[in-house]
A and B are shown apart, each in its own frame.
Chain A
Amino acid sequence: MSTPYAKLPAWADYGLIPVINLAVAFVVAGFVVLLVGENPFRAAVVLVEGAFGRGQGIAFTLFYATTFIFSGLSVAVAAHCGLFNIGGEGQGYIAGLGIGIICLAFDSVLPWWLTFPLAIVAAAAMGALWALIPAYLQAKRGSHIVITTIMFNFIAASVMVYALVGFLKPAISMAPQTRTFLDGAQLPKLNWVIELFGAKIRSAPFNISFLLALAMAFLVWVLIWRTRLGYEMRTYGHSSKAARYAGISETRIIIIAMMISGALAGMMALNPTMGDQHNVALEFVSGAGFVGIAVALMGRLHPVGIVLAAILFGMLYQGGAELAFEMPAISRDMIVIIQGLVILFAGALEHMFRPYVQALFASLSPKSVGIEAIKGKGA
């Protein structure tokens, strides 16, 4: 038998299974909380309330989610083409250089709505260029993209230190960061949207780049499922032999997919720099590029899933900060453990519960698992 298990209805495939995986991750995380001597149920309450309980929490959750949407989309675009881009961290970091130059040059002369598009282009271009080199090496030399992109993360970090210390920081300053951007490079907040629903927000960095992230999620969906380029990327991603057979150029498709992926990773730098800190500082990406891998896996490489998964991880970040504050026994590292468990169950062990769910479905409703599909066999 080539397919020992029948297929599942889409809602179970894309909804139920991730929820089960997530639930298991949280149960295991609960045991870890128990181990450090805290009440896991109270911890869960603090976590969720911290993230969604008040307007303030929601705004922060969405602020974190914004960055993760970009990095998740970046990973997903490459993954649809069969490439594992783990260089989002570096591509996002180096994009800060482009953003910094644009903002420092124009923040005093242009309004934000002119600076922003320029900065988007600069960030995307820097990210794409940073992905181009590993892509070229993969396409032409066969150097493995996982190795090269991760090495480029380190190179990006060094370049950024050099740039920040060398020419981006003000001459009189001791801190390796740019001066604070003026109003012309500060993105408007979106907190008022949450306040429309009656919540009160003191101050939170939730800003307009969230809308850009949603727009990009839609465009990625169009790209992957509705364009010829996306079709070619998916063909190559599933089978390089089929792509060769179909006359798709391997070099071209790898380079284009990686540059789009890099551009998306680059755009994630807009949120923390122009949206929150109003400067470009050392290590402002702080791991968001890697979180994107988990987000993309959790979201099953679909933009809708990625937006949802990004909000989930935003919740873990925001709620986790509250948790560390409320329960001293739980440090921020705890959040890293929960993240790790989510990645483990949603990513690596994605199919662990699948056979059981399928058996359950088959026994409850044979029609839902595609019995008709099997009947056609004798043809």
Chain B
Amino acid sequence: MAQAAIELIGINKSFGAVRANRDINLEIARGTIHGIVGENGAGKSTLMSILYGFYQADSGEISVGGQPASIKSPNDAIALGIGMVHQHFMLVDNFTVLENVILGAESDALLKKSIAKARSELERLEREYGLEVDPDAIIEELPVGLQQRVEILKALYRGAEILILDEPTGVLTPAEADHLFRILRQLKEQGKTIVLITHKLREIMAITDTVSVMRQGTMVATRQTTKTTVGELAELMVGRRVLLRVEKGEAEAGGVKLAVKNLTVKDSRGVTMVDDVSFDVRAGEIVGIAGVAGNGQSEMLEAISGIRRAISGSVMLDGKPIDLTGAADPGELRDRGLAHVPEDRHHVGLVLAFEENENSILGYHDDPRYLRGPFLDIDAIRDDARDKIAKYDIRPADCRLKTANFSGGNQQKIVLAREMEQDPGVLIVGQPTRGVDVGAIEFIHKRLIAMRDQGKAVLVVSVELDEIRSLSDRILVMFAGRIVGERGPEATEGELGLLMAGVEQREAAE
């Protein structure tokens, strides 16, 4: 049995009245890859933040390499050989790789010496671990996979023996994720210890040696990865059995409900994000758009829903064309039966400072049902909100509660309830389950399938390939602003992954 790299004993941490971590015991063996899984809000990130010195535990002990340690700041953690790769990279975009690596670890007042030293050190790290990056490349010009590599290099440059990775694959293509895993294995072989925080169970199964499951602030189980299954882990995470793949019947697709024609969208810098895209969604089917984040899906959704002005293109809703290039008004599209669950529920789909009932009319506040002349009909609005809360099992069931106080899954249900209950002909959904816990994912997927079975046209955009494959009747793959291929739901992950990475362009253009 290898000696423990990290040992956490009886860690407690509360935020106000919320107990984010309670009596956590965890032992991470040296030279292993240790996964930590759990739903959102289970306390994974808090625990790692305590380990990395962002927070102090209220009680409990930490020992690193067998020695009791007091970690009061990230600097203490770094001194103990703990490095962290954050979910959102902490890089200066317009600095070079080298400059980013030495940032905060400059050894001299003059940069020249530090840089020279760092350059030779980087070359050594690259050789040892297969972490090739051009040290003089500017960060913003690198793809995300490489940016992440820079984060790892930063940690190693500071002498990290223990590397914590927080949701590292969220932004990566399957191919990039595979490459990351190869690097992690190599690091492990060199004796480094790796802690991987994720909610993707497949990754846990693919790469870890040991896995610990957290639920509601407690550590519920630790297993040898080879001796557990995805099903068991999912059950441990939510405390009950979970359907990992929604059950659904065959689609009975009808006529075309939504037709997108020649849509071209540019972003604020004038870069073409969506390039002459056309496709149809028929009644009674779910069309999924797969793609790595940043390939134009977000802009496309915004244009179709009227939020963003398109350079060219139109949508046909039930056979009637609506031009998207002018001041297309989201209100008008909504009136025509197009409901939209936006990707960014925090800033677009909801007003977090509002009470729940106020959000349940957002976008439909012109509806006479909610009004008495120019005044809001508060009673009608609240009754309506209470109905939706009951129907969608939104918790806590309090329509006067501030929306920010709901969990991610419940916030998403608030948006879904609002959009679905309008009984729209077309529903477009961006990232239906981003930041949503496993139990709510199941609920949301079932609802989407139910919409389909009622004969609605449903368009889903998601960066989660599993979700796309599980929900869709047809899958369109988007790469660099274009639709590069269409596949059925039986398409393999590898096949879709290649399309998402822009390979097979020619074959797809047939």
Give A residues with C-beta under 8 Å from B: 1, 3-7, 222, 226-229, 231-232, 234-235, 238-239, 241-242, 244-248, 358-359, 362, 366, 369-379
Q: Is the CB of B351 within 8 A of A238?
A: yes
A379 touches B374 (CB 8 A): no
Q: Give me 13 other A-B pairs in contact (C-beta within 8 A), A1-B18, A228-B365, A374-B18 excluded.
A: A3-B405, A6-B16, A7-B402, A244-B330, A246-B365, A247-B330, A373-B396, A373-B401, A376-B406, A377-B41, A377-B216, A379-B393, A379-B409
User: Provided the pairs A227-B376, A228-B365, A366-B17 are in contact, do residues A379 and B340 lie with their beta carbons within 8 angstroms?
Assistant: no
Q: Does B26 contact A (CB under 8 A)?
A: no
Q: B348 near A228 (CB under 8 angstroms)?
A: no
Residues of A within 8 A of B466 (CB): none
Q: Which of B338-357 contact A (CB under 8 A)?
A: 340, 342, 344, 347-354
**Which 6 pairs, one residue from A and one from B, show the smallest C-beta to C-beta distance?**
A247-B331, A376-B395, A6-B16, A376-B396, A246-B363, A379-B395
Highest count of chain B CB atoms <10 Å: which of A234, A245, A371: A245
Q: Which residues of chain A are within 8 angstroms of B46 by Cβ–Cβ distance?
A: 1
Contact, CB under 8 Å: B17 / A371: yes
Closest A residue by C-beta to B408: A2
Complex Cα distance, B344 from A40, in Å, reads 53
B378 within 8 A of A: yes
- A6 adjacent to B349 (CB under 8 Å): no
B residues 220-248 near A (Cβ < 8 Å) are 238-239
Which of A226, A235, A239, A359 has the largest number of chain B CB atoms within 10 A?
A239
Chain A residue nearest to B330 (CB atoms) is A247
* Bound CA span A241–B306, Å: 12
**Whose C-beta in chain A lies nearest to the C-beta of B15?**
A4
* With known contacts A231-B365, A378-B39, A1–B15 Cβ distance under 8 A: yes
Q: Please tell me if the beta carbons of A238 and B395 are within 8 angstroms of each other in the complex.
A: no
Asked if A242 contacts B16 (CB within 8 A), the reply is no
Selected contact of A228 from candidates B375, B409, B440, CB within 8 Å = B375
Q: Which residues of B contact A234 (CB under 8 A)?
A: 351, 354
- With both chains docked as a complex, state the minimum distance between the C-beta of A153 and any C-beta of chain B, in angstroms: 30
Select from chain A the residue with minimum beta-carbon distance to B409: A379
Contacts of B128 in A (CB 8 A): none
| A369 with B17: CB separation less than 8 A | yes
| Chain B residues packing against A (C-beta within 8 Å) | 14-18, 20, 39, 41, 45-46, 216, 238-239, 305-307, 329-332, 334, 340, 342, 344, 347-354, 358, 361-363, 365-366, 371, 374-376, 378, 393-396, 398, 401-402, 404-407, 409-410, 413, 437, 439-440
A245 touches B307 (CB 8 A): yes
Write the chain B residue with the least CB distance to A244.
Answer: B307
On chain B, the residues within 8 Å of A239 by CB distance are 347-348, 351
The residue in B17, B307, B334, B405 that gathers the most chain A C-beta atoms within 10 A of its C-beta is B17
Which residue from A247, A359, A372 sits with its C-beta under 8 Å from B363? A247
Docked-complex contact B330 and A362, CB < 8 angstroms: no
A379's partner among B307, B349, B365, B394 (CB-CB below 8 A) is B394
Q: 29 A-B pairs, CB-CB below 8 angstroms? A: A1-B20, A1-B46, A3-B15, A7-B402, A228-B376, A232-B365, A234-B354, A238-B352, A239-B347, A241-B307, A241-B347, A241-B348, A242-B348, A245-B340, A245-B348, A245-B362, A246-B331, A246-B363, A246-B365, A369-B17, A372-B396, A373-B396, A374-B17, A376-B395, A376-B406, A377-B41, A377-B216, A378-B437, A379-B409
Given A228-B374, A245-B348, answer yes or no on A375-B396 (Cβ-Cβ < 8 Å): yes
Q: Are A245 and B17 in touch, CB under 8 angstroms?
A: no
The answer for the CA separation of A378 and B363 in the assembled complex, in Å, is 28
